[in-house]
Chains A and B, each alone.
Chain A
Amino acid sequence: MQQQAEHIVQGYDEDLNTLTDALSQMGGQVESMIVDAVRAIKKRDSNLAKEVIERDIIVNNLQEQIDADALRMLALRHPMAADLRRVVGAIRAANDLERIGDLAEGIARRAMTINESEKLDLSRGVARMGKLVKVQLKSALDALLNEDADKAVDVWLQDQDVDSLYASLFRELLTYMMEDHRNIQACTGLLFVAKNLERVGDHATNIAEIVYFSVHGRALVLEALQQVDGDI
C-alpha cells in the first residue's frame, strides 16, 4: 500500500503511508499475539498467555488511531476511486485485525485454564491448526501491504483447508472425550481454542476480500460465482 509521488499534494501520500504503517504495525502485533497464544498452549506457558492478554490494548489503540486517521483523510482530502477504496479498506481491515486480537486474547485466557489441568498431550492438533492459521494470516497481511490481489485469492481459497482441519480436529477431540471423561475439561477448552483459530482464518479471508476489492474495485465472491457460471 506504500506508494510514493502519486499525488500532487505530498501530504496526501504521507497520510496514506501513515495509514499503511499503522496497519502494518497492527498486523505484526496481531500475528505475534496469535503465535504466542498458541505457543502458550503448546508449551503450557501461562506467563506468555498473560503477556498476550496485556498486548490486546495495543491493538485496540492502533485500531482507534487508524479509524481516526482514516476519518480525517475522508474529511480533509476527499479521496476518490482507488484511494477511497484504500482508505475504506484500511478501516475494514483494522476492524478485522482488532477482532483477531480479541480472539488471540480469548485463546490466551483458555490457555491459562487448560494449563491448570493435568498435563495431557492433546494439544498437537491445535498447534498444527495454529500454524496453518498463522500462515493464512501472514499471507493475508502480505497481500494487504503489497496490494497483491493474486495472493489474496490464494488466501481466500486456502480457507477451506482451515475449515476442514477444524472439522477433523473437532472429531479428534470428541474421541478423546469419549475415551476418558477426565479429558473433558481440557478438551472443551481446546475446542474453544480451535473455534477461535477457525474464526481467525475467517477474518484472514475477509482481509483477502478487502484487498481484492481495493485493487480491482469488484467483489471477490461475486467474481468467483460468475466465473463458475461461465464454466458450466
Chain B
Amino acid sequence: MGTAPETPTKLTGFDRAMLCLLGLLIILGLGAVLNAPFLPILVSMLTFCLGVEIYGRLESPHKVANTTGLETSAEVQIFNQRAIADNLSEAVWIVNSREQIIYANKAATVLFGKTPFGRRLSTVLRDPSVTELVKAILIGQDGEAVDYHSSVPVDRHLRVTATPIEVANADSPPRRFAMIVFYDVTDLVKFALTQGDFLANASHELKTPVASLLGYIETLRGHAKDDPEARTKFLAIMQGQAERMQRLINDLLSLRQIEQSEHIAPSATADISAAVKVALDTVLPLAKTRGVILSSDGPKTLKVKGHQDELVQLCLNIIDNAVKMTPKGKQVSVSVSATKQWRSQDFMAPTPQALSSEEGLTRPLAKNRQIVIPQPSENGYALIRFRDYGPGFAAKHIPRLGERFYRIAGDRISQDKGTGLGLAIVKHIALRHRGGLLVSSVSAQAQAENLLLESLSGDVDKPEQDPQETGTEFTLILPLSPSVTQQN
C-alpha cells in the first residue's frame, strides 16, 4: 500500500544519557590534556549545543512519522490490522480521537486522491453533517448514515457511515477511533436525476416540432387536400421538422449516456490525433460544399487517457460548429500538441485595460472563458486547438456557452440545423475525461474596442499591427496517458 507510513522510532532515555556522558568525557579529556582553565567551560558549552543539535536530528524521523498521524501504540496497533480494510471495495478512512486521519485504504486513495494524513477530518471534508457524525461516534454516541455530495470536479454522491473501534491497552485506558466508510451511490442518484432531466428536456423540446407537424397535417387534410404544389412544399417542411426531432432525440440520448458515466474517468487509452483526423474526414464533404478550407497539424499519434468514440464525437461537434460559422474561403484549423505544464493563470490573465480601468477591477465582459476547468495531471497534457475565422461570439454569449439548449439568437444556421446540445455534449465529454475546455473569441465588436484602445494609448513607436482576426478558438486539454512520459 502506498499509504503505509513507517513505524515511528523514538529516542530512548538510554540514548540520551549516553550522549550526555560522551559530552562530559570530551570536556574532561580536553581539559586534562591542555590543562587550560577556560577551555572546559567553552568546550562544555559547545558540546552541549552539539548534543542538543544531534538529539534534534535524531528525533526528526519521529517528527516525520508524526505528521503521518501514527502517534501512539494504539494507532500502530490499528495500523497493523489494516489488512481487512485494505481490500474493501468501499473507501475507508480511520480517524483518531482528535479526528486526524491516520489510515486510508486503496479505494479511498482512488476516490479522494492523495490522503492528507494527520490533517483533521473537518479540514479535509468540510461537510458539517459528516463532521458531526464522526464527532458523535468518537464520544460514544450513535450516528446515522449521512449523504455527502461533492460537485467538484464531477458530481459525486456518497453515503457515509462511521463506526467506533476501541483499542485496549494494558497500561492505558482504551482509545477510541472512528472508521468512516464511503459508499459511492452516484450511479443511483444520477440515474434518478438524469431520468427526470431527460423526460423534462425531451418533452419540452419536442413540443414545438410536434405542434408544427400537427398543424401541417391538419392543413394537408383540410384546405390543401387537393393542392399538389402545397403538398410537396408542406411535406418538405414536415420532413425537416421530423429530422430535427430525430437529431434532438439522438443528442439527448448521447448526452444522458455521457452524463451517467461522468463520475467514472475513462481508463482506456485513446489516440487524439486519430480522433481529430476521423472528425476532419467526416466534416470534409460539408466543408467542401461551403467552401471552407480545413487544415491540421501535429504529431501522427498522441495517446491520451480517454474513450476513443467520445473523443471523436467531441472533435466532430466542435469542428462541425466551426465549419458552419466560417464564411466561404476562410479556413478552420486544428492543431494538436503535447505539453508538460498547464497553468490556467496564463490563459485567464486579465487584460491590461481591465486592470487599469478607473474602478480598479471592474473587468469588461469576458472574452476568454474556461468552460471546463482542467484538472491537474501527472503525465502532462495534450492541447488541441480548434480555430475558426468566423464572426466570433459576442462577449455576452460567452458565459453561457455550453449551457443546454442555449442558442445564439439570430444565428440562422444553428436555428435550423442545431439542437443547442452540441457544446453541452462537448462539455460533458471533457468533464468525464478530467480534461479542460477553454474558449476565447474575437468578435468584430471586440476588434473595434481593441483598435480604439490602441489608438488611445498612442503607441507610436510600435510597428503597425494587423488587427486580430475575428473568430473563435476552442482549446481542449486532455491528460496524457502514462505511457507517453515513459517513452520520453
Residue interface mask B36-65, A partner, CB < 8 A = 1: 000000000000000000000000000100
Q: Is A120 an interface residue (CB 8 A)?
A: no
Q: Is A191 an interface residue (CB 8 A)?
A: no
Partner of A165, one of B122, B128, B400: B400
Evaluate contact between A20 and B128: CB separation under 8 angstroms.
no
Evaluate contact between B403 and A128: CB separation under 8 angstroms.
yes
Q: Which of A21, A141, A168 has the most CB of B within 10 A?
A: A168
Q: Is B337 an interface residue (CB 8 A)?
A: no
User: How distant is the Cα of A145 from the Cα of B125 in the complex, in angstroms?
Assistant: 11
Q: Is B159 an interface residue (CB 8 A)?
A: no
Q: Is A83 an interface residue (CB 8 A)?
A: no
User: How distant is the Cα of A134 from the Cα of B149 in the complex, in angstroms?
Assistant: 12
Evaluate contact between A5 and B128: CB separation under 8 angstroms.
no
Q: Is A201 an interface residue (CB 8 A)?
A: no
Could you say which residues of chain B place their CB within 8 Å of the CB of A25? 122, 126, 128, 131
Evaluate contact between A17 and B120: CB separation under 8 angstroms.
yes
Could you say which residues of chain A place their CB within 8 Å of the CB of B122? 21, 24-25, 28
Partner of A160, one of B127, B152, B352, B363: B363
List residues of B (98-133) whose CB comes within 8 Å of A's CBs. 118-120, 122-123, 125-129, 131
Could you say which residues of chain B place their CB within 8 Å of the CB of A221? 360-361
Evaluate contact between A141 and B399: CB separation under 8 angstroms.
no
List residues of B (360-391) whose CB comes within 8 Å of A's CBs. 360-361, 363, 365-366, 369-370, 373
Evaluate contact between B352 and A20: CB separation under 8 angstroms.
no
User: How distant is the Cα of A20 from the Cα of B99 in the complex, in angstroms?
Assistant: 14
A-B contact number at CB 8 A:
103
List residues of B (242-262) whose CB comes within 8 Å of A's CBs. none
Q: Is B298 an interface residue (CB 8 A)?
A: no
Evaluate contact between B349 and A157: CB separation under 8 angstroms.
yes
Evaluate contact between B345 and A160: CB separation under 8 angstroms.
no
Evaluate contact between A154 and B366: CB separation under 8 angstroms.
no
Q: How far is the CB of B396 from chain A (nearest CB, A)?
A: 6
Q: Is A153 an interface residue (CB 8 A)?
A: yes
Q: Interface-forming stretch among A71-79, A103-111, A223-231?
A: A223-231
Could you say which residues of chain A place their CB within 8 Å of the CB of B399? 161, 164-165, 167-168
Q: Is B356 an interface residue (CB 8 A)?
A: yes
Evaluate contact between B356 and A225: CB separation under 8 angstroms.
yes
Evaluate contact between A28 and B128: CB separation under 8 angstroms.
yes
Could you say which residues of chain A place their CB within 8 Å of the CB of B344? 154, 157
Evaluate contact between B123 and A21: CB separation under 8 angstroms.
yes
Q: Given known contacts A150-B345, A224-B350, A228-B355, is B365 in contact with A167 (CB within 8 Å)?
A: yes
Evaluate contact between B66 and A4: CB separation under 8 angstroms.
yes
Q: Is chain A's interface secondary structure helix, strand, loop, or mixed overall?
A: helix
Could you say which residues of chain B place their CB within 8 Å of the CB of A150? 343, 345
Q: Is B67 an interface residue (CB 8 A)?
A: yes
Evaluate contact between B151 and A20: CB separation under 8 angstroms.
no
Q: How far is the CB of A29 from chain B (nearest CB, A)?
A: 5
Evaluate contact between A29 and B128: CB separation under 8 angstroms.
yes
Could you say which residues of chain B place their CB within 8 Å of the CB of A141? 126
Evaluate contact between B120 and A164: CB separation under 8 angstroms.
no
Evaluate contact between B123 and A160: CB separation under 8 angstroms.
no
Q: Is A135 an interface residue (CB 8 A)?
A: yes
Could you say which residues of chain A place their CB within 8 Å of the CB of B354? 160
Q: Which of A141, A153, A160 has the most CB of B within 10 A?
A: A160
User: How distant is the Cα of A227 from the Cα of B131 in the complex, in angstroms?
Assistant: 42
Q: How far is the CB of A39 from chain B (nearest CB, A)?
A: 10
Complex: chain B residue closest to A231, CB-CB: B352
Complex: chain A residue closest to B67, CB-CB: A4
Q: Is A2 an interface residue (CB 8 A)?
A: yes
Q: Is A232 an interface residue (CB 8 A)?
A: yes
Q: Given known contacts A168-B399, A168-B400, is B369 in contact with A161 (CB within 8 Å)?
A: yes
Partner of B128, one of A32, A138, A145, A157: A32
List residues of A (1-24) whose CB comes within 8 Å of B's CBs. 1-2, 4-5, 17, 20-21, 24
Evaluate contact between B356 and A138: CB separation under 8 angstroms.
no
Evaluate contact between B127 and A32: CB separation under 8 angstroms.
yes
Q: How far is the CB of B144 from chain A (nearest CB, A)?
A: 17
Residue interface mask A11-51, B partner, CB < 8 A = 1: 00000010011001101110110010000000000000000
List residues of B (276-334) whose CB comes within 8 Å of A's CBs. none
Q: Is B395 an interface residue (CB 8 A)?
A: yes
Partner of A2, one of B120, B350, B361, B398: B120
Could you say which residues of chain A place their CB within 8 Å of the CB of B230? none
Evaluate contact between B119 and A2: CB separation under 8 angstroms.
yes
Could you say which residues of chain B place their CB within 8 Å of the CB of A135? 151-152, 373
Q: Given known contacts A154-B344, A167-B365, is B403 in contact with A232 (CB within 8 Å)?
A: no
Could you say which residues of chain B place their CB within 8 Å of the CB of A28? 122, 125-128, 131
Partner of B345, one of A5, A35, A154: A154
Q: Is A99 an interface residue (CB 8 A)?
A: no
Could you say which residues of chain A place their CB within 8 Å of the CB of B361? 221
Q: Which of A24, A153, A231 has the most CB of B within 10 A?
A: A24
Complex: chain A residue closest to B354, CB-CB: A160
Q: How far is the CB of A56 from chain B (nearest CB, A)?
A: 13
21 CB contacts below 8 A, A to B, read: A17-B120, A24-B122, A25-B131, A28-B122, A28-B126, A28-B127, A32-B127, A32-B128, A134-B151, A139-B152, A150-B345, A157-B344, A158-B348, A160-B366, A161-B399, A167-B365, A168-B399, A221-B360, A224-B355, A228-B355, A228-B356
Residues of A whose CB lies within 8 Å of any CB of B are 1-2, 4-5, 17, 20-21, 24-25, 27-29, 31-32, 35, 128, 131, 134-135, 138-139, 141, 145, 150, 153-154, 157-158, 160-161, 163-165, 167-168, 171, 221, 224-225, 228, 231-232
